[in-house]
Structure formats: structure tokens, C-alpha cells
């Protein structure tokens, strides 16, 4: 199993400058190879990323000697791995994945496992030496890959570690749960427990509004103006605030998904992304506070570590308009009607809890069918 740990770095000024230089080399190699690939693709040729890297590696010593100041794996991985993924996305009809990289936008570079070593709260990086980390690497195993990135003037290292498959925590006797993404709260469990919305935006609303106005008044806010020092300073403050808001949401998502996968053996969820008919301000605001897709992604990979089974229902399976007690399809209630009474059996239903119960029952049936030889 591959586990990932993202840790904050504390480089000194010289190391931070070297990081920025490595980001520049990775960005240049990526853009150079992308230009060559596009030129040949438009001419009807097909070329692999490994060929492009060999060509760049041949000419870099004479034409781009500054590339030699960083580890060789940095531009190599940018071309052979990152560009390869982008081209695969392009060929899968996702043209937005083939974009040139810009300075200061998602600056990052990758390192192979032979170019970094972790020890206690430090990481050794080729040609840089030891760099302080905020904490020790959480996992014991074989380091596979590392990526160093910059967010709001803060450097991070993300390390992929291959660890032994863990022993499952759950058996077939474990409790099942259904999760419905609600309109009143972020999610509702089949037992009635609610997962509230993370109000990161509201907690920092006044500060966010003040900094946004302040930035709009600085010299450089208008197109064509030279960016002043105060403009850059305010923009850094705003970036740090957005990062803090994102960290609050990410922490809550991790806390909830970890608790669910440890407590329940079978988890039924709805694929809300496919439900194109859902609209409304309340649901749209939920998506900004805690993304459903990230919640589902974490559920799936954490379930693999604990032995839980996640069953994702398609959009036509359990419905909030069908009574969980008798299965009768009520035609009366609309999407915005939260509570309703079944016309067949008279059962009182709260829309989100009713949907969660049906998701739980659906997951139990699907899970039992998968276990049957």
C-alpha cells in the first residue's frame, strides 16, 4: 500500500533559493518538452516523453548549462512523469490538462528516492543537504517519490511511502452505515447523526473582505500596472488566509473520514457528482466548504487500510423519494421538501435520513452479493 505524508519544511535562505531554482528548471523542462510534443503532434508525428527527455538531456550542457545546478532527476521527472500524465489526459479528451506552466503558479518539483533521505525531523536532499521538517515521517517503509511544493510562501514536502498492507479492522459482523449528502448539513448518517458544514469562510469573512478590498486598492491591481511592494505584501497575506481556510476544511474531512472507516465495516454513499439535477444555494455552499469528491476519495483509500467496504450507489439506485419502510415511490415531495409522510404506510420521513437508510440497505445487499462465492 502506498501512503503519503505532507510535511512543512523550514529551509534557510540559501535552501529556499535553491528550491525556487529547482522549480524553475522543472518548469522549463516541462514547457520545452510540451512545445516539442505539440509541434510534432500537429505535424502528425508521435513521440514518447522518454525520447523528448533524451533530446533535452543531450543539448542542456551546451545550451542550458544552468540546468546542471540541480539534481538530474528534477527535469527528468518533469518530462517523463508529469508531462506523460498531462499528455494522457489530453489524449483522453481533456485538453485543459495540456497547459504551459507559469512562474509562481503551483511551483513544485519531484525527487526520486535516491535523491532524498529522511531522518528524525530532517530530510537530506541531493545538492542541498539537510533541511528541517516540522515533524518526523509518519510511515515506516520504502520511500518511493517526493515532491516539494510552495503554497503561500511556505514550502512543503510530500513523500510517498510503500508500507505493508495493514491487518483489516473489520469483519462481516461490523455495523453498516449509509451517508446522504444533505441540504441542511454537509451529510447525514443513517442513524441520524449529522456532519455539519465547515464554516471556514464565515470564520474569516471579515478579514477576507478587508484584505480583498485592500488588495484592490493597491498599485498593480489593475491590468498593466506595475506590481508595487505593498500589493505583493497584501497578496501574500490573502494567500495565507486562503491556505488557512483550506487547511480547516482538509482537517475536518480527514477527521470525519477516519472516524467513519474505523467505526463501520460497510459504508453506502451516493454519487452526488453524477446528480446533475441538484441545484440551489444551500447545496452549492456545502460544496465550497467541504468537497464531496474529496470526501469520497478519502473514504475509499482509508477503507482499504481498515478493511471497510465502500459501496457507491449509482444515481438511479436508492432515492430520497422512496419510503425506507415500505419502498413505496411517493410522487408528491419535491427536492426542496425536507419532511414528508408516505402515502402508502404513513411513515414519517426526513428526506436526508430516509436517503441514508436506503443507501445503508443498498450497501448491505451489494456487499453480501460480492462475498457470496
222 found inside a domain? no
- Let me know whether 18 and 137 are in one domain: yes
pLDDT at 95: 55
CB 280, CB 183: distance < 8 Å: yes
218 found inside a domain? no
Residue 334 pLDDT level (bands cut at 50, 70, 90):
very low
- Let me know whether 33 and 124 are in one domain: yes
Q: CATH number for the domain including 356? A: 3.30.420
- Let me know whether 358 and 266 are in one domain: yes
202 found inside a domain? no
- Let me know whether 103 and 185 are in one domain: no
Regarding pTM above 0.85, the answer is no
Domain enclosing residue 364, as ranges? 176-197+246-371
- Let me know whether 77 and 186 are in one domain: no
- Let me know whether 74 and 135 are in one domain: yes
Residue 248 pLDDT level (bands cut at 50, 70, 90):
confident
Average pLDDT over residues 80-107: 83
- Let me know whether 281 and 152 are in one domain: no
Average pLDDT over residues 319-334: 60
217 found inside a domain? no
91 found inside a domain? yes
CB 316, CB 322: distance < 8 Å: no
pLDDT at 353: 81
pLDDT at 274: 43
Q: How many structural domains is the chain composed of?
A: 2
pLDDT at 272: 66
pLDDT at 168: 74
216 found inside a domain? no
Percent over 90 (pLDDT), the chain:
39
- Let me know whether 41 and 141 are in one domain: yes
- Let me know whether 345 and 284 are in one domain: yes
- Let me know whether 321 and 190 are in one domain: yes
pLDDT at 75: 96
234 found inside a domain? no
pLDDT in tens, 171-215: 555 689 999 887 677 888 988 888 887 765 666 778 888 899 988
Amino acid at each position: 500500500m502506498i501512503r503519503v505524508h505532507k510535511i512543512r519544511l523550514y529551509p534557510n535562505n540559501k535552501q529556499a533559493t535553491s528550491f525556487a531554482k529547482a522549480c524553475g528548471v522543472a518548469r522549463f523542462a516541462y514547457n520545452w518538452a510540451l512545445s516539442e510534443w505539440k509541434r510534432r503532434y500537429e505535424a502528425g508525428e508521435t513521440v514518447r516523453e522518454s525520447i523528448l527527455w533524451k533530446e533535452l538531456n543531450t543539448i542542456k550542457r551546451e545550451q542550458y548549462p544552468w540546468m546542471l545546478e540541480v539534481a538530474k532527476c528534477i527535469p527528468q521527472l518533469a518530462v517523463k512523469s508529469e508531462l506523460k500524465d498531462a499528455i494522457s489526459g489530453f489524449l483522453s479528451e481533456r485538453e485543459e490538462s495540456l497547459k504551459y506552466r507559469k512562474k509562481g503558479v503551483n511551483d513544485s518539483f519531484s525527487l526520486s528516492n535516491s535523491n532524498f533521505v529522511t531522518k528524525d525531523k530532517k530530510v537530506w536532499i541531493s545538492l542541498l543537504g539537510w533541511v528541517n521538517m516540522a515533524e518526523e515521517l509518519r510511515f515506516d517503509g520504502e520511500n518511493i517519490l517526493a515532491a516539494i511544493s510552495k503554497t503561500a510562501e511556505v514550502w512543503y514536502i510530500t513523500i510517498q511511502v510503500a508500507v505493508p498492507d495493514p491487518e483489516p479492522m473489520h469483519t462481516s459482523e461490523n455495523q453498516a452505515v449509509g451517508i446522504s449528502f444533505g441540504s441542511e448539513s454537509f451529510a447525514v448518517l443513517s442513524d441520524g447523526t449529522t456532519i455539519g458544514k465547515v464554516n471556514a469562510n464565515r470564520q474569516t469573512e471579515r478579514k477576507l473582505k478587508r484584505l480583498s478590498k485592500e488588495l484592490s486598492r493597491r498599485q498593480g491591481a489593475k491590468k498593466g500596472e506595475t506590481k508595487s511592494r505593498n500589493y505583493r505584501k497584501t497578496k501574500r497575506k490573502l494567500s495565507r488566509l486562503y491556505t488557512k481556510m483550506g487547511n480547516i476544511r482538509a482537517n475536518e474531512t480527514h477527521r470525519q473520514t477516519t472516524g467513519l472507516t474505523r467505526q463501520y465495516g460497510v459504508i453506502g454513499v451516493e454519487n452526488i457528482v453524477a446528480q446533475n439535477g441538484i441545484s440551489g444555494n444551500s447545496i452549492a455552499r456545502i460544496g465550497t466548504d467541504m468537497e464531496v469528491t474529496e470526501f469520497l476519495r478519502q473514504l475509499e483509500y482509508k477503507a482499504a487500510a481498515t478493511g471497510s467496504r465502500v459501496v457507491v450507489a449509482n444515481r438511479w439506485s436508492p432515492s430520497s423519494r422512496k419510503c425506507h419502510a415500505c419502498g413505496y415511490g411517493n410522487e408528491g415531495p419535491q427536492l426542496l421538501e425536507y419532511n414528508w409522510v408516505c402515502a402508502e404506510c404513513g411513515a414519517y420521513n426526513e428526506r436526508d435520513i430516509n436517503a441514508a437508510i436506503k443507501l445503508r440497505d443498498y450497501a448491505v445487499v451489494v456487499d453480501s452479493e460480492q462475498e457470496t462465492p
